[in-house]
Structures are given as C-alpha cells and as structure tokens.
Amino acid sequence: MTTLWDRSRQAAVQTILDTALRLFAEQGYEQTTIAQIAREAGISQRSLFRYFGTKEDLVCGDQEALGELLKQAVQQQPAEMSAWDALRAGFEVLLTANHSPERALELSRLIFDTPSLHARYIEKRLRWQADLLPIIQARLNNGPHPAPGLQARAIIATVFACADTATALWVGDGGELDLADLYDQCLAAVRGRGPA
C-alpha cells in the first residue's frame, strides 16, 4: 500500500528530475549546478541531497541499488538455467526498474553523450561485473575450466558488452527499436547463433 508520504516523495523526486533534465537539455550537464536545479525545483539544496546524493545520481540513479537488484535477479534464477540466460533475466528486470521507456531513453542519451557521466557509468558497471562473478562462477561449477573464473569473467564481460552495445544502438535510433531484441541480436552475433 502506497502511503501519503510515499506519494509525496515520488512527486518530489519527479519534480526534481524533470527540472534537472530540462536544465541539462537547455544548458548542458556540466554547466548546470545543483544550486540551479534546487532553485528551479523550489527546494533547498539540502532537500535535494536527501533525494539524490549527487548530481550524477539525477541521471544515473542509485547505481548501488540497481547493481544489487541485478545481482538478486540473477541469483534467483533456477539452478538449471544457463549463466547466459540468468544474466539476461537480470537485465530484463533492470529495464523496468525505475523509469518509463521514454525517460530511460532520455537518461541513456544524456549518459552516452556526456563523457564524465559515461565514464562513471562504465566504472559502476565494472563494479557490477565484479559483484556478479561469484554468482556466475557458482552457476558454472560443473566441470574443469582452463583457469578459475575465466569462463565466468568472459561470459559476464560479453553480456555487459552486448547490453552496452544494444543500449547505444537503441539511443542512436531514438528508442524506435526494442532494447531487449537488440540485446538478443548482439549476443547472437557474438555467440555465432544467427545473423550478425
């Protein structure tokens, strides 16, 4: 059940995010300050920081929470599911985690077009990969491998590369194509299972 406090918080977050995205579009991410966003949203900087820890969090969201969501989604997949499919199921959960497809496209475009945001995005996704390693290793623990963790690392890196490539294509196409389908096509191309 959603409480009045929850609805008030959601409305405040939406107002702040709408204001920030408008300012980023008008004057650029780097040129926009937290003070401007707070002033335009009609709140104090202190209040803004209660909802978003940093300016980057306005665009990238709470990456720690999203990484944990991905990790839990992968862990919860049936044991007989392949590592590839478990990771895909995890990414499927992230697609619907926080925003509408239109807002996700707007945020993704900003991340891919702003070098500082893109660098932070990559840094955090590398942390996600490290967090997923023991989960994928446990799922693959079914025979000898050339080196401990090699197969798990390769699978995780490939999946993330395909997810990032699919997202870049989706952003470049203005969100017209289906992001999950793009991911599947990227993975099929890498794994040699369909047209490249």
Residues 6+ apart with CB under 8 A from 142: none
Mean pLDDT of the region 173-185: 93
Q: What is the pLDDT of residue 65?
A: 82
Domain ranges of the chain: 1-55, 61-191
Integer CA distances (angstroms), 137 to 74, 76, 84, 155, 189, in order: 12, 15, 12, 10, 24
44 — pLDDT class (breaks 50, 70, 90) = very high
Dig out the tokens for 21 from the structure. 């995205």
The per-residue pLDDT for range 104-157, each reduced to its tens digit, is 888 889 999 999 899 988 988 999 999 999 999 998 875 555 566 899 999 999
The band of 181, judged by pLDDT with boundaries at 50, 70 and 90, is: very high
Q: Is the pLDDT of residue 196 over 50?
A: no
Is 61-191 in the same CATH topology as 1-55? no
Best mean pLDDT range from 14-28, 58-72, 93-107: 14-28
Average pLDDT, the chain: 87
More confident residue, 166 or 196: 166
Residue 82 confidence (pLDDT): 92
- In the predicted structure, residue 5 carries a pLDDT above the cut 80: no
Query: How far from the centroid of its chain's Cα atoms is residue 173's Cα?
Result: 18
| Residue 161 pLDDT exceeds 90 | yes
**Regarding the domain with residue range 1-55, which homologous superfamily does it belong to in the CATH classification?**
Homeodomain-like (1.10.10.60)
Q: Residues 156, 133: contact at Cβ < 8 Å?
A: yes
* Torsion-angle region of 42 (φ positive above 0: left; ψ -120 to 50: alpha; else: beta): left
**Dihedral class, residue 116 (left if φ above 0, else alpha if ψ from -120 to 50, else beta):** alpha
User: Could you identify the residue written with the tokens 């490939």?
Assistant: 158
For the stretch 8-41, pLDDT in tens is: 878 888 899 889 989 998 999 999 999 999 999 9
Is the per-residue pLDDT at 192 higher than 90?
no
Superfamily of domain 61-191: Tetracycline Repressor, domain 2 (1.10.357.10)
**How many other CB atoms are there within 10 angstroms of residue 122's CB atom?**
12
